[in-house]
Amino acid sequence: MSKTPSQNESREILIWLNQNRQMLLDLYKNQYVAYNANGLIAHSENLRELLQLAEASEQLFAIYLVPRSTASIQIL
């Protein structure tokens, strides 16, 4: 589905990502995930496969590449 989300839809999608980032890091490291405000739609290490799965859902979605790891630094 190639629809541009409205400003409100974009905000809701971003809220979902922020609320679920730790779960994504725990379960889907180094994978692409397709998601929207209602939740996860699909995941795969292969972007083309992910796009096929997400588009088949016929839902509005965003894609996020979950990093392998996260780190923090402390400057003294």
Q: How open is the CA angle 9-55-61, to the nearest 5 degrees?
A: 20
Contact indicator for 35, 61 with CB cutoff of 8 Å: yes
Q: What is the DSSP pairing of strand 32-36 with strand 62-65?
A: antiparallel
Q: What is the pLDDT of residues 3-51, one digit of tens each?
A: 788 999 999 999 999 999 999 999 999 999 999 999 999 999 999 999 9
Per-residue 3-state assignment (H helix, E strand, C coil) for 45-66: CCHHHHHHHHHHCCCCCEEEEC
| Cβ contact 32:64 at 8 Å | yes
Per-residue pLDDT reduced to its tens digit, 10-23: 999 999 999 999 99
> Could you tell me the residue ranges of all domains in the chain?
7-65
What global pTM score does this model have?
A: 0.84
